[in-house]
Structures are given as C-alpha cells and as structure tokens.
Structure 1
Amino acid sequence: MKKALVTGAAGFIGSHVVRELLARNIEVKALIRPGEPTTNLDGLDVQKVIGDILDYEAISKALQDVDTLFHLAAIYAIWMSDWSKIYEVNMQGSRNVLWAAVEQNIEKVVYTSSIAAIGIAPGEEVSTEDTAFNQYTLGSHYVLTKYLSQQEALGFARNKLDLVVVNPAFPFGVMDRVPTPTGQIIIDIVSGINRFYYSGGINIVDVRDVARGHVLAAEKGRTGELYILGNKNISIEDFTNLVLGIANLGDRFLVNMPVPLLKTATSVLTIWSDFISHKPPLSTPVEIQYSSNHLYFDSTKAQTELGLTLTPIGESLNQAIEWFKENDYL
C-alpha cells in the first residue's frame, strides 16, 4: 500500500484512519463532501479532494492514482426528518464507490460496515462474523441500510474485487465533533440528561483501535471476509456507572427503566422531533428495542488474523470525556 483514498475522511472514524495511515508513511487522499467541516484534518499532510459519493464521476476521478480504498462515508443516525437520504448515501453511494473501484482497478478495498449488519445471538450469547442477520423487522433504517449495503459489497468481493469488510462496534474517543449517536450517549450521561438504565448491553471499543483495524484489514484481511472491530461487552447499567465513575459522578442516582415504559416515553420524544423541534430526540423506540438486546460481539477473528490489539476501555472513555469537556460539549 503506497497511496490510499479515504471516503468520509473528515468524520470520526475516518479522520483516525487517516492518522493511522500517515503514521505508517502512506500517502493519503481525503474525500471531503462539499461544504463539510474539515477540522479533524487540520494540520495533516493529506491531499483533500472535494466530492460526493453520489456523484459517480467525482468518486471515479478521486480514485485515480491510488492503490487502496477505505470506504467509510455513510450516514449514522437514529432519527432523520427524511429517511430517503440514508438510503441514497448508504446504498447508492456505496454502489458508486465500488463500481468506480472496479473501473479504476483498485488493488484493495476496505469496506466499513457495522456490527449492526451482523445478527444478534439469543440472550447474552456473543455474536461472531458468522451470526446470520436477523433484524429485518426491527424498523431501523440505519441497521437495514448497513446490512443491505454490506451484502452488495460482498457481492463485489465474489466477483474479483479484493474487498474486506470491517464491522466496528460502538466506538469512543477524541474528535467526535458531530457528535455521533455513540458519543452523544456519553454527553447525555455525564450532563445528567440521561439518568436511567435498562436491560441490554453493548460492545464498546476505542476509535483508535477501530482505525488500526481498518489498516490491518488492508494489509492482512482475506477477500470477502468480515472482521468485527470491538472490545468489551458490557451491560447498559454497568456502562452507565462506568462513565459516571470516570467522570467522578459515581454517587448520582439512576433509575432502572422498564423497556416498555422507555419505548412509550421515546415515542413522545420522537413525535416532538418529527413535528415540532425537527431535531434528533434523546432516543427512539426503535433504538431502545435494538439496544435492549445484548449486543455482544466477539473480536477474536480480528485479533488473531489481523493482529489487532485493544486499548483498555477505561482509558478510551476517560479521553472521550475529557475531550468533550475541553471542547464545550459538557
């Protein structure tokens, strides 16, 4: 790998992938949406290319003279006023990128999917890359688009494109400027907006480990394979208390909310967002339904095949909280 194009380069994970590549002395082209803030790339020695993945000619031109593609550009949202955009970007945008990669004879493609595109094992069992997707009726546009676009990407891998899929879990760390829904969880817990927990669990991971996993996948990943980039499986209750403890707020009183009651409450918040505020709610019934499962995943494959090492999660959360404080999110 000598020169790489990173789509979504100014985003949370994308900007960390750019830094990981530069640390390995790999030349980087960063694809930037027109008008997109590029603060996460300030001071980095990258070639910025303005283009939209919905513009096939723009992406095809951006891929010229590179040998490796990291496709991270996607919409990650729990609520949108118009959901059509998530299908355009996450599906048609990905098609454009992959067809252009074929046309430009790109040597290696790392396709960023999500653990959302992998099935959920029953109870507290741990899912692997082989756990069949089983969330067709969930009603989450994000989850569905990530799964469908992943399947299309795997189709390209079966037809001679050297493509590897990575499936990040819930990443935390610095430079989460939007912030992502994942980062917003920390903000809501520490600020006191979120004072409850409920049944279920998640897999959390340092964003720098996710970025390193991307580069390792380009170097060592097998064509057509999935690699879960995760770390610690933790219940919602334990995660909430861990965040509060790191933020020195361990004495805060929390309420154990039944999932049905929480879904009713978030239905009201969603209606308010849909018709009055036009801003994302704290959560939605679909999000509660999804996360009330134990979203536990096994990253052994990435560790053994790619050589991925993992950062202690307490360190990751502490850095994320401090960064949110320093940048006036808290």
Structure 2
Amino acid sequence: MKRIVLTGASGHIGYHVAKQLLERGNSVILLIRNENDHIARLKLRGATTFIVDLHDEKSYQAIIKDADVLFHLASENTVDTSDEKRIVKNTFELTKKMIDCATANKVKTIIYTSSVVVLGRSPRSDRLIQENDKASCLESPYVKGKFLAEEYCNKVIREKPVDIRRLYPSWVMGDDDLKLTPPHKIVSKYLAKGNLFYFSGGISIAAVEEVARAHINAWLLGKPNERYIVAGHNISFKKFYSTLAKYSRNKAPFLYIPKWIIYACSVVSKILLGKKNPIDPRYVRSVIGNYSWYNSEKAIKELNYTIPPLDSILQAAMNGVRKKLWGIHPFDKKNNIDIQRIEYDQNDVLLITGFPGWLSNRMLDILLNGNKFGNYAVNRKIRLLVEPKFKGLLSTPENIEIFYSDITDKDTLKLALKNVKAVYHLAGVIYPKKINAYHKINYIGTKTLVDQCIECGVRRIIFMGTDSICGYGKLKKIFDETTPPNPYKNYGRSKYLAEKYILDKTAEGLIEGTSLRGFWFFGPFMPARNMNFLKMFYWKRQIVFGNGKNLRSISHIDNITQAFIKAEKNNKSIGKWYWIGNKHYDYTVDQIYQNIANGLGVDYKPFYIPNWACELFGLLDSILGLFGKVNATIHAAGKFHKNIAGDIKDAQNDFGYNPDVGFEEIKLELKDIVSKNYA
C-alpha cells in the first residue's frame, strides 16, 4: 500500500483531500498540531495521526521518510495584516521546511497547495490569468508568504532532482469549513447583515470537493513538477452577492461604490486604526476593480477537473456557514466497548427540545458517547424536536429520530410526543432580535408543549431554567431554594412563567415536572458569542463589567446533563426546582477571569467598567426593550456586576447531583476549544 502523508487536514481543503483519500481505501498519515472535529472524524475513518511541530523537522522527518507522496496544505490563510512576521512564518517558512525535509528524506512526490494570489490579477475582464503569470502586488503578508514559497519551489526544482506538483486554488467554497476561510467569512457577514453595495472587479468560485479531487489526481494523473490552476466560475462581485441573495432573506446589492471611495476610506481607516484596520489600502488597490479570473483548462484536461454549477457551490457554502453560525455539528455514536451505558426499557423514548444548541449538542454527545470520564452514555431511543429551518443541515446517527417543528405547533408536537416516556425541555431564546420572542417561545412554547404532554399522556418533564428567574442577589448574596422569584426583565419573566406553569400542572397531578436552574455556562460546543468572549483574553486588557468582586456561579454543561439524567430517575425531584451549578458556587468574577486566563495561558490584566456605567447599560437595555429590541452585549453588561450565585446542596441531597467537572477540568478544555475553532 502507498505511504501517504498529509499536512493541513484540520483546514478546509486539507480535510476534504484526506477524506477522499480515505474513501478510496488509502492508508493516510496526518501530521497535526492538535485535534479538532475534522481530525476526529478522519480518525474515525481510519486516518493515523501524529502530533508534531511543523516548524521542527526533527518532529516528523522519520514519519515522512520514503513516503510515496506528501500532500502539503498546511498554511495560515488570512487577510490579516497586523502580524507579518507570524504569517510569513506560517506560509513561506513552514513550506520551505516541509520541502527541505521531504527532499532530504526521499519523498517521491510533493503535492503543494499554493494559491492563485501568487499568479496575480488582471485589470481586464477579457484576459484570464494563466499558470505562467506572476503577481506584481504583494498586498498582504499571506500573499507575500505564498509568493516567497512559490519562488522557493522554483529554486528547488531548478537545483534538485525533485517532483513538486503545485495547485493554485481560487476562492474555494463548500461545506465543512470548520474555521471559516476568508471567502466563507464574507458569506457569514452577508448572511448576518446583508449587503446592499457592490463594486467593480471579480472573483473565481471553485468547489472544495472538486479542488480536493484535483489534488489527488495531480498525484495519480499529473506530470512531474507541473503546475495546475484549479479555479472555477469567473464572476463579478455583483453576481456573487446577487447569487447569495437568491438563497437567503437578504436583498441583492443595488448601490454601486466606485473604487476611489473604498480606497479613500481604507486610507483614513489605516491612519486611525493602524494595524487593526479592517481593510488595508493595498488590498483595495489590488482586488477592487481588478479581475481574479483564471484559466483552469490544463487541470480540466490533465486532471479531469470539473466545475459544478455556481448555484450548487454557493448553496453548499451557505449551508456550511449556517451550520457554523447555528452551532450544528456532526454526531456519531462511537463503538467504544469500554463505555458503561445506562440501560433503559427498549420501548423507552426520550424527547429533547431545543436542538441544535449549546446544551443540547453536548447533551446528545454525552448520551451517545459518555462524558470526559466515560459516564452517562445511554442505551435509549432518542427523539429530537428541531426547528424547520435546520432541515437538511443535521448529521446524526440512524437511531436518532428527528421531528421538525416549531415549539408552538400543536399538531407536530402530538406526533413527536407519541410513545415518549420523558421530555428534556431545553428549547428557549436568550438574545432574540425581537423582544416578543421571549413570551412566544419561552412561555407560550413551554405551555403548548406541556398541554400536549398532558393530552398525549407524557408525564415526566425536566425543564432547563435559569438564574434570571431570581435575577440577582440583593439581601442575600447566595441564592438557595428558599429565594423568592425576582425575574430579571423580559427573559427572566418568560422563563419564570414557563417554570411556574410546569410546576403548577405538576401540583395538579397532570404531569411530573422538575426545573433545573443553570448559571453561567461553560463547556464544549461553545457558540460564536461565547467564543468571542474567550478571544477577548488575548487582548492586551480584558474588559470586566463591574469591579470584579461580585459573586458568580458557573454551570458546566456536562454537569447539567448529569443533573437531567439523575433528576429524571428520582421521584423526590418531582414538583421542585433546583440550582444546578459547580461545586464551588461563590467565585468572584475576578477569580473566574483568572481561571480562564490561566487555562488559556495568558496574563489576566483587567480593565474594569465602573458599576455606575453598568447601571447605565441596564437602563439602556430597558429603553431598548420599550422599542421591542434586544442587544446581547448591552443586556449582559447591565447585570454582569451583580451577585448571581446559588447553593446546590438541595440537588445534591435530593437526587445525588455530583458536579464532577470543575475549573481544573475547564481550564484544560478552554485552550483546546479555542484552538479547535480558530487555530
């Protein structure tokens, strides 16, 4: 069997190359820095992994020795201009070391992923760029790094008996872009905010599956030391945005902006923001008004390269970005014989609402495969209630049944509840665009679900409550189960009404309900908003709303999942609500931030926002509410300086709640979470 080694499998193209190689029955060795979801999925398909430092040849030279082929795709793909030294190191210097090590260790063929940026752009729409063209403007550190790597390849080919086959992808788009490459970041921004403007110039859109296939065929069918452009549809920026508009709720662009205006704005921004400038004038000068249009004829003829329809490429890209934005992950049931599963009756069915979501994603993962200690996996039929907008985007094992329904749709709920033994009710909104969604989804949705449970004979309901039901500590800093409700604004009121309805119907003997109130969430499957909070710790100073001395409890979602499982099985919890946090329930905010900083390996240097300013944020939040609006940052800032902490002893005493994930475990997983999503 051929010896195949690959770098960059955690990235977009690299993942698809590795996946296709494995699908063809090849044995594939992956050189990785760390493991992310892509690597985990490739390992399930049979890939062998080695954790190495690609800048240190000694860490991998024995692994690649005498390999039949090295696919080198690892690179830092970014339009960032703030740290040229780092980016050039992770493009040019990285490639130089890989090529030197591969040639010294007699690797037969190197397939190197360059980029069309090294070939340049055309000022005319009637002239396509060819393989022998050369960029005249190195507008960013990434382009500079890839250009230097290109020049080095030319030098090695001239001086040594090597076989380096180069591919030049354009804008590569499609599904499974875990970290969002620059083209997909543009799609992400468009889906979130739309874009009414367009400008002159154009780009070339390629499909990731076909670009990956071209890499493999460059090895199998290509010629030694040959170069292949693997571009796609050469279209204008206006057509690009107009096509995105066809498959979203956003409008197509109709306002034209001349290049000189964009350039002038970029110059002013550069002066004001320096390295933090979002768009560099050199980038504007090189990209806007020019045509990144390329000729892929050689790859089509020699590598059987194909270009799918534009609409199908962009639809796949948009769906992939939506998965990222909505926190949708592929789920697999691992065949691990060491996992001790909790057994349920073969006719027992569990319905989970609120999927996909941060908590529901991790809960399903634990129910399928156990937590980090191998606990709480189940042998149980699981049914998911999923919003219709997620149709076609989910990937779950065959034994997971999906019902697409709005939480307020009585007819579909009846179908979803058929033969269900228990409901884990996680569905709810925290930061909706419109404030009336709180009442509609959190309260009316819960009421509708409970009413249908009663009608269908489903008795057991475990509800995900919130600390906002009690607001914040006033007379007592630490909540307990005697603390009276004091709902914090519209969100707290909606969750309180939902919880009250469940407990009232339990008191009437119609259902058997329990409410578990969580605090500040931590854990895997963290959504983008919380990821951005972690990224803040890499700033020079970390923003703290308040003086950092107020008390906050945290809830790791693994611990919450444990609480759901244990509470369901214990009749003592019926008709009650509980605080579900970590064992150490009275951290100060400073202590929490310090633990996070320690976990991420950075210094904690707080920048405190005074309490009076936080009160102003709270006032502004209330004013926005009068107009039916919610701003997540303003809402959170308005109460961040308050005491929000709770004692968990009742849950410990009543149903054996034992939160085994604390900050020591959280610190270990934090850096891993960041690196998997952004490294």
Same fold (TM over 0.5): yes
* Match in the other structure for 1:308: 305
Structure 1: distance between partners of 2:96 and 2:215: 20
Question: Does the residue aligned with 2:75 lie in a helix, a strand or coil?
Answer: coil
Q: What TM-score results when the alignment is normalised by the length of structure 2? A: 0.45
Question: Does the residue aligned with 1:166 lie in a helix, a strand or coil?
Answer: strand
- Letter of the 1:139 counterpart: E
* Match in the other structure for 1:129: 131
2:321 counterpart of 1:324: yes
* Match in the other structure for 2:192: 191
* Match in the other structure for 1:93: 94
- Equivalent runs, 1:119-268 vs 2, <5 Å: 119-124=120-125, 125-131=127-133, 133-136=134-137, 138-158=138-158, 159-192=160-193, 194-249=195-250, 251-252=251-252, 254-268=254-268
CA contact (8 A) 2:61 2:101 kept: yes
Shift of residue 110, structure 1, vs aligned partner: 0.4
CA contact (8 A) 1:203 1:297 kept: yes
In 2 relative to 1, CA 269–329 (structure 1 residues): closer, same or farther, beyond 3 Å? farther
Shift of residue 270, structure 1, vs aligned partner: 5.0
Task: Summarize deviations over 1:120-162 as a string: whole Å, max 9, x none.
Answer: 334111111122x1324x4322222212211211322332111
- Letter of the 1:219 counterpart: L
Structure 2: distance between partners of 1:75 and 1:224: 24
Task: Summarize deviations over 1:66-100 as a string: whole Å, max 9, x none.
Answer: 32101111111111432101121212211111111
Number of residue pairs matched? 321
RMSD: 2.1
1:288 to 277, 281, 284: 284
- Letter of the 2:70 counterpart: L
In 2 relative to 1, CA 59–155 (structure 1 residues): closer, same or farther, beyond 3 Å? farther
State which drifts further: 205-214 or 173-182: 173-182
Structure 1: distance between partners of 2:103 and 2:231: 29
Task: Summarize deviations over 1:303-328 as a string: whole Å, max 9, x none.
Answer: 10111122222111111111221232
CA contact (8 A) 1:8 1:32 kept: yes
Structure 2: distance between partners of 1:64 and 1:71: 15
CA contact (8 A) 1:157 1:223 kept: no
Structure 2: distance between partners of 1:264 and 1:329: 36
Shift of residue 60, structure 1, vs aligned partner: 1.4
- Equivalent runs, 1:33-112 vs 2, <5 Å: 33=33, 36-44=34-42, 45-64=46-65, 66-112=67-113
Structure 2: distance between partners of 1:253 and 1:72: 34
- Letter of the 1:41 counterpart: I
CA contact (8 A) 1:30 1:48 kept: yes
For structure 2, list consecutive stretches of 5 or more residues without a partner in the other structure: 328-679
Structure 1: distance between partners of 2:177 and 2:246: 21
In 2 relative to 1, CA 205–329 (structure 1 residues): closer, same or farther, beyond 3 Å? farther
Task: Summarize deviations over 1:188-216 as a string: whole Å, max 9, x none.
Answer: 22222543211100111011111111101
Question: Does the residue aligned with 1:202 lie in a helix, a strand or coil?
Answer: strand
Question: Does the residue aligned with 2:200 lie in a helix, a strand or coil?
Answer: coil
Task: Summarize deviations over 1:220-263 as a string: whole Å, max 9, x none.
Answer: 222222100111100011111111112243x4454211112112
Question: Does the residue aligned with 1:228 lie in a helix, a strand or coil?
Answer: strand
CA contact (8 A) 1:154 1:163 kept: no
Structure 1: distance between partners of 2:196 and 2:175: 23
Shift of residue 37, structure 1, vs aligned partner: 4.6
CA contact (8 A) 1:60 1:97 kept: no
Question: Does the residue aligned with 1:320 lie in a helix, a strand or coil?
Answer: helix
Q: What TM-score results when the alignment is normalised by the length of structure 1? A: 0.90
In 2 relative to 1, CA 11–87 (structure 1 residues): closer, same or farther, beyond 3 Å? same
Structure 2: distance between partners of 1:271 and 1:72: 35
In 2 relative to 1, CA 52–270 (structure 1 residues): closer, same or farther, beyond 3 Å? farther
- Letter of the 2:280 counterpart: T
CA contact (8 A) 1:189 1:195 kept: no
Structure 2: distance between partners of 1:193 and 1:271: 27
Structure 1: distance between partners of 2:8 and 2:246: 33
CA contact (8 A) 1:187 1:329 kept: no
Structure 2: distance between partners of 1:218 and 1:274: 43
- Letter of the 2:61 counterpart: S
Which runs of 4 or more aligned residues in structure 1 lie more than 6 Å from their structure 2 counterparts after TM superposition? none
Question: Does the residue aligned with 1:301 lie in a helix, a strand or coil?
Answer: helix
Shift of residue 30, structure 1, vs aligned partner: 1.1
* Match in the other structure for 1:114: 115
In 2 relative to 1, CA 264–176 (structure 1 residues): closer, same or farther, beyond 3 Å? farther
Question: Does the residue aligned with 1:227 lie in a helix, a strand or coil?
Answer: strand
CA contact (8 A) 2:139 2:282 kept: yes
For structure 1, list consecutive stretches of 5 or more residues without a partner in the other structure: none
In 2 relative to 1, CA 110–272 (structure 1 residues): closer, same or farther, beyond 3 Å? farther
Task: Summarize deviations over 1:97-126 as a string: whole Å, max 9, x none.
Answer: 111111211111101100011133341111
Structure 2: distance between partners of 1:50 and 1:86: 21
Structure 2: distance between partners of 1:51 and 1:219: 27
Question: Does the residue aligned with 1:165 lie in a helix, a strand or coil?
Answer: strand
CA contact (8 A) 2:173 2:184 kept: yes
In 2 relative to 1, CA 24–288 (structure 1 residues): closer, same or farther, beyond 3 Å? same
Structure 2: distance between partners of 1:47 and 1:265: 49
In 2 relative to 1, CA 175–268 (structure 1 residues): closer, same or farther, beyond 3 Å? farther
2:310 counterpart of 1:297: no
Structure 2: distance between partners of 1:97 and 1:237: 39
Structure 1: distance between partners of 2:219 and 2:17: 11
Structure 1: distance between partners of 2:253 and 2:238: 12
Greater Rg by CA: 2
In 2 relative to 1, CA 3–268 (structure 1 residues): closer, same or farther, beyond 3 Å? farther
- Letter of the 1:102 counterpart: T
State which drifts further: 151-160 or 210-219: 151-160
CA contact (8 A) 2:81 2:140 kept: no
- Letter of the 1:298 counterpart: N
Task: Summarize deviations over 1:28-62 as a string: whole Å, max 9, x none.
Answer: 111111xx452112232211111122112123133
* Match in the other structure for 1:16: 16
Question: Does the residue aligned with 1:22 lie in a helix, a strand or coil?
Answer: helix
Question: Does the residue aligned with 1:42 lie in a helix, a strand or coil?
Answer: helix
Structure 2: distance between partners of 1:253 and 1:193: 9
In 2 relative to 1, CA 264–178 (structure 1 residues): closer, same or farther, beyond 3 Å? farther
Structure 2: distance between partners of 1:177 and 1:269: 30
CA contact (8 A) 2:130 2:294 kept: yes
